[in-house]
Amino acid sequence: IINRAVRAGHPVVSAVQLAANELGDPVGSEFGLIVDETTYGVEFRDALTNCAGRTGSSDVHFFAVSVSIQSETGGNLAEILDGLATVMRGRATLAKRVRSLASEGRASAILLSVLPMLMIAFQLLWRPSIYTSKFSDPVFWPTVSVTMVIYLIGWMMIHRIINFKY
């Protein structure tokens, strides 16, 4: 919306106002806050920076930086916004692709995390004497403790492998 308004000849602030009116929450309200801050005397670049800080989105940060650099150096804002839109779409596509490729790892992680507990539960139900007879053994509880620590370390490693930032 902003790119089309800029191409039509609107100033950037009015293009952001148009986007605020046309888009629903939360994007529309954030653009509305940018316009409100600008109306009450905050510079447009500072209002964009405030918006990027509020949202924490790298895409909004890219938008704020792009518009700020363009306002300082000049150039065709519509082309800059076209390039930025292409980058944003590419990042969204990449995120979906990575998520779909990591789904197999996620399924393996769930299986590897749950399977030992299920096996222990099955053995306790089938033949409880396997474990209950060993409770009094002095080596049993330290072995269980070490096994749990190793299990948790393995779970954390698997969790880090399948939940990565790109």
Q: What percent of the chain has pLDDT over 70?
A: 98
In this prediction, residue 165 carries a pLDDT of 64
In 3-state terms the chain splits into helix, strand, coil percentages (rounded to 5) of: 80, 0, 20
Residue 24 φ then ψ, to 5°: -85, 180
| pLDDT greater than 60 at residue 166 | no
In this prediction, residue 142 carries a pLDDT of 93
CA angle 54, 59, 61 (to 5 degrees): 50
Contact by Cβ (8 Å): 22, 31: no
Contact by Cβ (8 Å): 10, 18: yes
Single-letter amino acid, residue 102: A
Q: Which two tokens stand for residue 77?
A: 């804002």
Q: Which two tokens stand for residue 39?
A: 């109306």
Write down the residue that tokens 């089938």 correspond to: 126
Contact by Cβ (8 Å): 56, 48: no
Closest CA to 47 of 63, 58, 26, 59: 63
| pLDDT greater than 80 at residue 67 | yes
Task: Report how far Cα 118 is from the mean position of its chain's Cα atoms.
Answer: 32
In angstroms, what CA-CA distances link 64 with 45, 76, 84? 7, 15, 11
Q: What is the pTM of this model?
A: 0.60
Contact by Cβ (8 Å): 1, 18: yes
Convert the pLDDT of each residue in 112-163 to its tens digit: 888 888 998 998 899 888 888 888 888 988 999 999 999 899 888 888 877 7
The three-class DSSP label of residue 125 is helix
| pLDDT greater than 60 at residue 108 | yes
Average pLDDT score over residue span 34-43: 88
